[in-house]
Amino acid sequence: MSAQGDCDFLVKRARELVPEDPWAAKAWLITARTLYPADFNIQYEMYMIERNAERTSSAGRLLYDIFINFPEQPVVWREISVITAALRNDSQDKHAQFLKGVFETLPGPVQCQMLLKATEQCFNTLEKAEMHLLLLKRFPESVVQHGVSLGESLLEAENMQDLDTPVNCYRKLFVCDVLPLIINNMEMRLPASLLHKYMHKAAEFYIGYVTRGPCADAQLPGPQEGGGLKSPGKGRGQRGVIDGLSEKSSLVAEPWVRLLEIVGSMGLRCEWQGEKGTRTYSELLQRVKELCRYLPGLEGETFSRCCAQIVTCSTLVLFRSAHFYISTVQPSLFQGHNSLGSTPWVLVEDLSSVFNDIEPERPSGKHAHKKRKLADGREKTMSSDDEDALGKGRGRHILVNMTEMPAWAEMLEHFRTARESWDLLHSHETLESEYNKICAAWKTESWLWFRIFLTDMIMYQGHYRKALSSLMQLTSLQPQQNQNTHPSASSLETHRALIQQASCHYALGEYRLACEKLLEVVSGLVPQNQEATKSSEEQNRGRNKGKKGNDLRLIPCTSKDILPFCLQLMLACFKLRAFTEGNRDDLSLGHVIVLLQHDWPQGETLFLKAVDKICDQGSFQYENFFNYVTNIDMLEEFAYLRTTEGGRVQLELLPNQGMLIKHHTVTRGITKGVKEDFRLAMERQVSRCGENLLSVLHRFCINEKIILIQSLP
């Protein structure tokens, strides 16, 4: 008999015995092993018996033996890869737990060796990295040797794959798993440049992660309200799995907190000024603000170190606060926000004072325009506190309905912090160029959410011309962002942009352009019942008390809130023209009267002013009057104007009435007929008082679009 024959016989006999008498089977194998200690199959069979019976410690002992004695056996490798696979995924499955237990019984150096060898066997980069990571986590001393090379290999893999997002499996592994091991290992000395590179890789990942858009494929078309401006992401799925990772490991808990931890460790390692490792984002900003004061006096390495700290910290604070701001203003842009019932908001000029008398507070024509231009020119240096006095960038208030947006205070605070960081980053040439480098590397140009923030910020700063070009960029970002989402989503984005464009044009005194944009918006709206608007208006009023005219307002992006805003904005555009001293413009005055009906009797003062003007003129021609004026107070007033007591004002309010009057000047009888027509029209009009005013005004906007636009310069 040959040795191989002996061994085969012994193993076969043992295998036969396992079911009926496992102890005998083991006795056979023990004997066999003393006869042929160098035979692999005998020991492997012993291991398999213990493994199948899930006896952890004895299986571990035997695995140790075969690992040491037969390191070249392919079967051993297969087994080790099964075990290490169990270690990698966090399965709670009983057998996986057993395999983990077996691994735990092995002495440390053997575990280390096993992981290293298993890593060598991996060809898939991701798997290999995961194996490596397992090693580093278990044996912190190996971080010094393998940490950076693992990190670099992940970054390289990311580059090789040419992935279009930083939120990918390689980066996730690098940022969430490898990087903490590297930067928290105090035995490692790394150059500051490398640390900064890693820091920025981490920041890019975390920012990309929190701001990633909702995944298109998980989206279900929600019940849409007929064509209205509604949140686009109804019923959107919450999960976003990073390609190549499991659902569980795709999840990153508390990304901003993780990022802050990394910043803390980095700061310690890069010897940042006053960096103690644990602080909040606002402390981070506070610290670099102080640091900024000393910047002009610094030079050389200290200067560049300070710059790096300022840029890194301010950039992170900027993006974080901007993200918070946008996640309140337009939550549906981001994954993980419950977009059901979350309304997007749009930042516009505050027009609550539109019904006030003209003189003290309307955006006053050319003079204001000039002043703004001046501010535009100085914009770069406008960052330090003494610029506040100019009142363009600072001291503006953003009004918001507190009941509809519970988190308003936090949102405004974030908006403020983000602006502050932005200003800081643009307070010095070096800082700005460093910041721009980061933006270029991260391709922030393509971040829709950030563009929205920038636009709002620019508007807030009063740089309306720049805001308009920013809005143009926004429009160019939208199609690619929204091509997969619900069609109404893009219409919402268009509306948002148009409303803001209108608001900017208005602020610039470009009323005609403002109106063009507005009417475009209105044509896409559906008028609501009038009642609902009242309450919100009243709530705002309290807050608005005593505020000057150049405040901003956040309004919900819904038909209900937008139509009133459009009407107000139009009123604001025409108001100036209609009441210009020494200038007669009956058409504009007519439009104003129509628009003043909305939110009646808010506009009573202005209406009386208009009536005064008509009285002064002695005549008034507005042929659309009976089409759009249904307000009983107004009708009464106009009926009165015609009377002797009212001043016998010549009113030409019927279509073609002027023609008739001219034609029949000689014949008195015809004028009588006109009188009769007017009376009839008035009577008919009174019966229309119950009509939905918003519908009337909506129709007004749509039907008279061309006249409206043409009547503005």
Partner 1 sequence: MSDIRHALLRRDPLSAAKEVLYHLDIALGSTLQTGPGLDKNTVDLVEEFIFHVPKDRNTQRKRMSCVQELQLLEIMCSYFQEQSKDAVRQVIFSALFSLQGNKADENRMATLGKLVSMAVAVCRVPILECAATWLQRTHSAWCVRLALVLVDDYCTLVPGSIATLQNVSSASPRFCCQLITAVTALYDFSSDELTPPPSLLDMVVGWITEDPRLLLLTFINTPLSSSLPLGCLEATPLAGLLRWCVKAPLASQRARKSAVTGVQPEQENGAVCEELYSKLHLSVLQVFLMLQVHLTEQNLLGRLAVLQVESVAALVEEVSALVEELNPLHAANQIQLALDRLAQALQVAMATGALLCSREDLRTLCSRLPHNNMLQLVMSGPVVPHGAAFQPSVYPYIHPARPSPLSPHPSHPALSPLPAHPALTTHHQLTPHPAHSPLPPPHAFHPASMAFQYRPIR
* Residues of this chain that bind partner 1 (CB under 8 A): 1-3, 6, 9-10, 21, 23-24, 26-28, 30-31, 33-38, 61, 64-65, 68-69, 107
Least gap, CB of 68 to partner 1 (angstroms): 7
Least gap, CB of 418 to partner 1 (angstroms): 60
Question: Between 68 and 407, whose beta carbon lies closer to partner 1?
Answer: 68
Least gap, CB of 21 to partner 1 (angstroms): 5
Instruction: Single out the residue of 591, 647, 643 nearest to residue 622, CA to CA.
Output: 591
Contact criterion met (CB below 8 Å) for 307 and 434: yes
Specify which residues 347 forms β-bridges with: 554
Count Cβ neighbours within 10 Å for each residue of 202-215 and write b for 16 or more, e otherwise.
bbbbbbbbbbbbbe
Least gap, CB of 126 to partner 1 (angstroms): 34
Radius of gyration of the chain (CA): 37
Q: End-to-end alpha-carbon separation of the chain, Å?
A: 112
Per 3-state DSSP, the chain is made up of helix, strand and coil in percentages (nearest 5) of 65, 5, 30
Least gap, CB of 29 to partner 1 (angstroms): 10
Instruction: Single out the residue of 97, 124, 104, 98 nearest to residue 64, CA to CA.
Output: 104
Question: Between 13 and 512, whose beta carbon lies closer to partner 1?
Answer: 13
Helix axes 94-105, 74-88, angle to 10 degrees: 110
Secondary structure of residue 620 in the 3-state scheme:
strand
Question: Between 40 and 256, whose beta carbon lies closer to partner 1?
Answer: 40
Beta strands 619-621 and 552-556, pairing class: unpaired
448: region left, alpha or beta (phi > 0 left; psi from -120 to 50 alpha) = alpha
Least gap, CB of 170 to partner 1 (angstroms): 38
Count Cβ neighbours within 10 Å for each residue of 216-251 and write b for 16 or more, e otherwise.
eeebeebeeeeebbbbbbbebeeebebebbeeebbe
Least gap, CB of 106 to partner 1 (angstroms): 9
Cα dist. 551→345, 348, 352 in Å? 16, 9, 10
Residue 688: both structure tokens together = 């229309």
Question: Between 37 and 601, whose beta carbon lies closer to partner 1?
Answer: 37
Contact criterion met (CB below 8 Å) for 375 and 463: yes
Least gap, CB of 258 to partner 1 (angstroms): 40
Return the H-helix or E-strand segment holding 505: helix 487-507
Question: Between 30 and 659, whose beta carbon lies closer to partner 1?
Answer: 30
Contact criterion met (CB below 8 Å) for 208 and 165: yes
The span from the CA of 107 to the CA of 61, in Å, is 10
Cα dist. 57→51, 98, 107, 212, 467 in Å? 10, 10, 12, 46, 70
Least gap, CB of 193 to partner 1 (angstroms): 46
Least gap, CB of 57 to partner 1 (angstroms): 9
Question: Between 65 and 637, whose beta carbon lies closer to partner 1?
Answer: 65
Q: How many CA atoms lie within 13 A of 83 on its CB side?
A: 27
| Residue the block writes with tokens 């200690």 | 37
Least gap, CB of 73 to partner 1 (angstroms): 14
Question: Between 10 and 712, whose beta carbon lies closer to partner 1?
Answer: 10
Question: Between 61 and 397, whose beta carbon lies closer to partner 1?
Answer: 61
Least gap, CB of 65 to partner 1 (angstroms): 6
Residue 654: both structure tokens together = 């019927």
Torsion of CA 564, 569, 574, 576, to 10 degrees: 130
Specify which residues 398 forms β-bridges with: 552
Torsion of CA 670, 674, 680, 686, to 10 degrees: -170
Least gap, CB of 84 to partner 1 (angstroms): 20
Question: Between 23 and 123, whose beta carbon lies closer to partner 1?
Answer: 23
Question: Between 108 and 690, whose beta carbon lies closer to partner 1?
Answer: 108
Question: Between 28 and 638, whose beta carbon lies closer to partner 1?
Answer: 28
Count of all residues that appear for the chain in the document? 713
Full 3-state SS string of 328-383: HHCHHHCCCCCCCCCCCEEEEECCCCCCCCCCCCCCCHHHHHHHHHHHHHCHHHCC
Question: Between 28 and 622, whose beta carbon lies closer to partner 1?
Answer: 28
Least gap, CB of 191 to partner 1 (angstroms): 42
Question: Between 33 and 200, whose beta carbon lies closer to partner 1?
Answer: 33
Residue 74: both structure tokens together = 């392919």
Question: Between 31 and 384, whose beta carbon lies closer to partner 1?
Answer: 31
Question: Between 26 and 200, whose beta carbon lies closer to partner 1?
Answer: 26
Question: Between 12 and 370, whose beta carbon lies closer to partner 1?
Answer: 12
Least gap, CB of 14 to partner 1 (angstroms): 11
The span from the CA of 407 to the CA of 343, in Å, is 13
| Residue the block writes with tokens 């023609």 | 659
Least gap, CB of 110 to partner 1 (angstroms): 8
Torsion of CA 317, 319, 325, 328, to 10 degrees: -120
